[in-house]
Chains A and B, each alone.
Chain A
Amino acid sequence: MEERRNQPDVARILGHYRTMQRIRAFEEAAEAAQKEGLVTGAVHLSIGQEAVAAGVCGNLEKTDLITSNHRGHGHTLAKGADPVAMMRELFGREGGTCGGKGGSMHIADFSIGMLGANGVVADGIPIAAGAAHGAKIRGEKLVTVCFFGDGAINRGPFLEGLNWAAVFDLPVLFVCEDNGYASTTETRTVTAGPGPSARAESLGVPAHDVDGNDIVAVDALAAELIGRMRNGGGPAFITASTYRLKGHTAADPAAYRRQEDVDAAYEREPALRVRQLLTDLGVSISELDRIADEAQAEMVAAAETAKATPHPDLREAYTDVQDVGAVAWPN
C-alpha cells in the first residue's frame, strides 16, 4: 500500500477519475430527466460517493459478482454496464437493462456480474453470501462484493449474512458506504455502539476503515483485500466514510441537514479531491476537463437515446413471471 502511495500510478488514477466522472454525469443526467418527468420513479443519487464504487470495482474482473442497494447506479456503471441500457431502464423503455421492469432501484446487469440493486435495505447481503456460496459449490473461483449503506447495519440480514460468510469462509467483500444518513435520519442517532467495522469484527470478519472520498486509499485497500480473496481468503469488510451530497432521493431537498455540514462536505468531495491530486501529479486541467466533458456528453447522449426509445410492448407486463403457472396475456 505504501509503495503505491509513494509512486502513484497516474494512468490508474486517471481511469478512476474517468469512472467517477461518468457516474456523476450519469446521475446528473438522470436527475435532470426526472425533473422533466421522463424518469417517473424514485432515483437515489450517489453523487459524492463515486470513489467507493470506482475504487472497489476497479479491482474486479467481469466474472466477479456484485450486489448493490437502492443507490446502485455507480456500482453498476463501475462494474461495466452500458449507460444507454441503464438510462433506458430509468426511463422505463425497451432495451433497458431489465426491460423497463425494474427502474433505477432495481438496476442490474447479470452479463457483467451485477446481480441487482435492491429496494429492501440489507437484502443484498444474504444474496451476496449465497452467490459466493453457490460459486464455491460449483468450484468457481470468483470474488463477490456486496455494497450497502450504514443504515443496513441495523437490519437482521447484516448480522446473519456476515456470520454466514464467516462460518462458510466465503470470499465476500462487504463494503459499507457510510454516508451518515439512513434515508433522512442521521444514522448515528439510531445506531448503538462504535459502528459498522466493530460489528463486523465481532462476527469474525476482519474490518478496515477507509476515507471513502480518497480514491487512492479505497483502491489500495480493495486491491489488497480482493487479492487475498483470490488467494483463497475468506470474507472481509470495509467501512468507507463518505457523504451523500444530495438527498435520500432526487426529490428530497435534504433540508434536515445543517448547511455548514453540506458546505464542508463539498470541500472534501471525491471528484474535487481526485482532480486536485491529478493536477499535483502533473496532469493538465485541460486533460481533466476533456475527460469530464466526454463523460457528460456520453451521458447526455444516453438520456437523449433513452428518450427517443419506445416504451416496452405491453405484453412484456406478462412475461418472465414464472414458467409453471404463468398467467396468460389477457387481450
Chain B
Amino acid sequence: MAELTYLDAGKAALAEEMRRDSTVWALGEDLGRGGVFGQYRGMIDEFGPDRIADTPISEATIMGAAVGAALVGTRPVVEMRFSDFALCAVDELVNQAAKNRYMFGGQGRVPMVVRQPMGMWRSSAAQHSQSLENWYVHVPGLVVIAPSTPDDNYGLLKAAIRCDDPVVYLEHKDLWPAADEVSVGAEPHEIGKARLARAGSDLTIVTWSKMTQVCVVAAEKLSANGIDAEIVDLRSLWPWDKEMVLESAGRTGRVLVVHEAVQVGGFGAEIAATVAEEIGIPVRRLGGPRIPVAYSPPLEDMFRIGADDIVDAIEKMNA
C-alpha cells in the first residue's frame, strides 16, 4: 500500500503496464512534457518518445490512428486532454473503434483506452467542464469506466489497458489531487463491479465519479438526521453492476441516482428505469440542470450538485 493521488495512481498504473507489455504506448498532445494535467510527467524519460508520443492537435487522427495501431497488435492509450475535445474524434470512436470487431465479423480486436478527463473543475466554462458519459454507454462495443478513488484509478486503468475492447476511461479533473491508499502491485480491478462506498439501511444512493465523494459528505449529514444511506459507487458504467444495485435497492426499499451530468437523458435514467422495472420501488434522480456550465463562479455553481442538494432530495423522498 502507498498513499497516492488520483493523478499519480493513474500514472503508476500506466507505467506498470508499459513495463509489463512492450506493445502498450500512449499518444496525445503534450505528453512529452507531462500532459496538460501532469498525468504523464517524467514518463518520456523512462519510455522514450516512441511510446510517450507527442502528437499534433488532431483528435480525429489520434483516435483513428489508435484504431489502426490497435488492429496491428499494439495497445494504444489515447489521451484526449478534455472529454470535451474527444467530440472531435467521436466518429473515429463510435464508427470505427466500437464497430470494427463486429462489422468485420470478428476479424480484428481494438484494444485501446481513451482517457477523457471529464467534469467540472473551476471556471472552465462550457467547453472544458462536460460530463458526457451517457453518450458512450449508449454505443455497443464500448466499455465505459469512471473511477472515483485513487485505488480505482490504479486498478481500473490497469484493467482497461489489458482489456481487448475499446474502453472510454473517464477520470474526473477535480479528483486529480485527491490522495488515498492504493494497493500498488495488486491485480487489476474487475471491470463491471461496483464498490460499496458506504453501508446503510434506509436508502440506496447510486452514483459514480466525483459525485461519490459528494454523496459521502451528504450521507454524513443525513446520518445526523437519523437517515442511514447506503452508497453504491458504480465505477464502471458499461457494464454496470446491476446485481449490486438491485440487491441494495431491494434491501433499503428506495433509490436515489446522483450524477454530475445533465439529468435529462442521463445515465441515471437507465438505472432508475431498471430499478423500477425490476423491483418497482420508489426511485428519484438528481443530476445537473439542462444548461451549459458557466464561467463566473456563482453562475458555475448553479450547475454544481453539492451535498446539501443531495440531502434535500433525500428529505423530499422521505416526506
Contact = CB atoms under 8 A, between A and B. Distances in A.
A175 to B, nearest CB: 16
A161 B61 contact: yes
B201 interface: no
A135, A163, A322 — which one has the most chain B CB atoms within 10 A of its CB?
A322
Contacts, number: 158
Contacts of B72: 65, 131, 134-135, 138, 140
Nearest to B56: A163
Contact of A96 (B23, B105, B191): B105
A110 B109 CA distance: 11
Interface string A122-137: 0101111111111101
B66 interface: yes
A167 B57 CA distance: 12
A100 interface: yes
Nearest to A317: B102
A78 B143 CA distance: 36
B51 A137 contact: yes
A97 B163 CA distance: 25
B68 A102 contact: no
A320 B60 contact: no
A81 B91 CA distance: 28
Nearest to B57: A160
A98 interface: yes
Interface string B274-298: 0000000000000000000000000
B68 A123 contact: no
A108 interface: yes
B50 interface: yes
Given A127-B96, A134-B71, A325-B143, A110 B108 contact: yes
B61 A123 contact: no
B64 A157 contact: yes
Interface residues of A, number: 49
A125 B23 CA distance: 22
Interface residues of B, number: 46
Given A125-B64, A324-B143, A137 B100 contact: no
Contacts of A16: none
Interface in B141-155: 141-143
A110 B100 CA distance: 11
B105 A99 contact: yes
Given A126-B61, A127-B68, A131-B69, A322 B165 contact: yes
A148 interface: no
A162 to B, nearest CB: 9
Nearest to B64: A126
Contacts of A167: 56
B118 interface: no
B64 A161 contact: yes
Given A101-B105, A324-B239, A126 B68 contact: yes
B58 interface: yes
Contacts of A324: 143, 163, 165, 191-192, 239
A28 to B, nearest CB: 25
Contacts of B76: 130, 134
A100, A111, A128, A321 — which one has the most chain B CB atoms within 10 A of its CB?
A321
Interface stretch (A32-40, A113-121, A225-233, A245-253): A113-121
B92, B100, B102 — which one has the most chain A CB atoms within 10 A of its CB?
B102
A320 B105 contact: yes
A164 B63 CA distance: 12
B206 interface: no
Interface of B: 23, 25, 50-51, 55-56, 58, 60-61, 63-74, 76, 91-92, 95-96, 100-108, 140-143, 163-165, 191-192, 238-239
Interface of A: 65, 67, 96-102, 106, 108-111, 115-116, 118-120, 123, 125-135, 137-138, 140, 156-157, 160-161, 163-164, 167, 319-325, 327
User: What are the 6 tightest A-B residue pairs by CB atom distance, in nearest-first order?
Assistant: A126-B64, A130-B68, A130-B65, A134-B69, A99-B105, A325-B239
Given A65-B72, A130-B69, 15 more contacts: A67-B68, A101-B104, A101-B105, A110-B104, A123-B64, A130-B70, A131-B71, A137-B25, A137-B69, A156-B60, A161-B64, A163-B61, A321-B101, A322-B141, A323-B163
